[in-house]
Amino acid sequence: MTRPYRIFEHYVQGKSIVLFLGDLLLIMGSLYAGGVLRLVGVPASWLDIPHGLPTVMVFALVGTLTFYVSGLYEAKLRDRNDLILRAAAAGSVWGALYLALNLSAREPDKAWWCGLPEIALATAAIIVLRTVCALLARTNPFRERVLFLGATPTAEHIIGELEVNHPGYEIVGFVDDRPADQVALSNGFRVLGTTWQLSEIATGCEVGTIVVCLTERRGSFPLKPILDCKLRGIRIEDWPAFYEKLTGKIIVQNLRPSWLVFSEGFKRTAVTRMAKHVVDLALATLFLVIGWPIFVLVALAIRLDSPGPIFFRQERVGEQGRPFTLLKFRTMVQDAELRTGPVWAADDDPRITRVGRWLRKTRLDEFPQIWNVFKGEMSFIGPRPERPHFVVQLQEKIPYYAERHSVKPGITGWAQVRCPYAATIEDSEEKLQYDLYYVKNMSSLLDIDILLSTIRVVLFGRGAR
């Protein structure tokens, strides 16, 4: 349940797969329980599989999508109250959407509220499922025991991530050849022995995974002990791959270029590029045709709120480092950087107008970028394009920063839905780690994940500045 699995080039946590399959079973079970028990007089029409299968499929699809958008498949929820609130909100939206569909295609033999009791039953069962999974994740039979080869700062960083966000892992300790006075540890775990004792320690501690975090490998790589563990069925993970699967990002500090060269990913054929371009063009055309009322209303609000142009044009760096002009709705006062020059946006930035603050919160300020997508300068999904002034600074200070320009920039992206707006170099480094994951694992499944997560970000207003 703990280990991630690579599905269509994207790493999906084992827990999320278990929850998804469990949700489908519970949703189907709620349909038949409602029919068999005839809850509050609901007819057993769900049991007519050949006739009712399309309805059942729509019912299950809407349900799983609302639970996903509400964040119930995230690695960790804050507490039980957070779980209940999210599930209740998702169940309410699910009920409203299904009720609208049911009324629009109402069948004479069904009550208008048919399906609502099953939704309530499924929502309650899904809360119970997550509560049980959270409890099981903390019990020994379901925890993955991890041993770190190399007591390095990288290992300590990964341990911190495991302890905070991944309770399904149990950390055993370290194996390291250095003398005790040369090993500085601050996390409470200890060195259990040397690399030549690796197999004995791993077997005795019932380790499931060994994460190799050695900084120096030339002439000192313990091949035989690691191979012995591998032959005993213990999973061996290089630290960049383990961290990538765990977090959905790639650490750029201390990362060996050879790992990027030989690791899985970066599969972008002419067919996949063309398919992504066709989808972008079709969606951009659709949004431009049906979205013009939004353009008009937002333009009117901007014009009434503050003097200045409706649109904001700014040079950004695109695919392969080519510059292009980004189009957005103006959210700041006119000539906001006339005195300061290029600066990062900040929380409660006084330059942001009243309408602009609302536009940023709802992400409607990004709407005109659909024209950039239509022109082929951007994609709907990809790394956010940065300004040339900042690109020069960031390429000097952050390793591998230029690699994010190997794909088209996007209106939304993996970094945008996983962490807040970048306002410092440190924030940009954090976002780059997500951007590199996207560039490496770009796929339709990952794009769908980002799209659904973007809906959640817009609804809850996270990360806007």
Domain regions of the chain by residue span: 4-136, 143-247, 270-460
Report, as an integer, the average pLDDT of 442-460. 88
CATH 3.40.50.20 fits 143-247, yes or no: yes
Question: What pLDDT digit, counting tens, does each position of 337-362 carry?
Answer: 766 667 766 666 788 889 988 888 88
Report, as an integer, the average pLDDT of 386-394. 91
Separation CA 203–CA 288 (nearest Å): 61
pLDDT over 70 at 285, yes or no? yes
∠ Cα 73 76 79 (to 5°): 110
pLDDT band at residue 106, thresholds of 50, 70 and 90? low
pLDDT over 90 at 405, yes or no? yes
Highest averaged pLDDT of the listed ranges 70-79, 345-354, 429-438: 429-438
pLDDT over 70 at 75, yes or no? no
pLDDT of residue 39: 46
pLDDT of residue 232: 92
Which residue is associated with the tokens 């939206």? 93
pLDDT of residue 254: 82
Burial class (CB in 10 A: 0-12, 13-18, 19+), 339: exposed
| Choice among 182-191, 282-291, 296-305 with the minimum mean pLDDT | 182-191
pLDDT of residue 212: 94
pLDDT over 80 at 115, yes or no? no
pLDDT band at residue 116, thresholds of 50, 70 and 90? confident
- Residue 457 has, within 13 A of its CA and on its CB side, a CA count of 24
pLDDT of residue 40: 45
| Choice among 146-155, 170-179, 321-330, 337-346 with the minimum mean pLDDT | 337-346
Separation CA 331–CA 318 (nearest Å): 22
pLDDT over 60 at 131, yes or no? yes
pLDDT over 60 at 109, yes or no? no
Distance of CA 392 to the CA centre of its chain: 27
pLDDT band at residue 100, thresholds of 50, 70 and 90? confident
pLDDT band at residue 314, thresholds of 50, 70 and 90? very high
Report, as an integer, the average pLDDT of 181-206. 86
Question: What pLDDT digit, counting tens, does each position of 198-237 carry?
Answer: 999 999 999 999 999 987 666 578 889 999 999 999 999 9
Grouping H, G, I as helix, E, B as strand and the rest as coil, residue 105 is coil
Query: Which residues face 352 on adjacent strands?
Result: 332
Higher pLDDT, 461 or 420: 420
Sign of CA dihedral 429, 435, 440, 441: positive
Separation CA 321–CA 397 (nearest Å): 17
H or E stretch covering 289: helix 270-290
Separation CA 326–CA 313 (nearest Å): 6
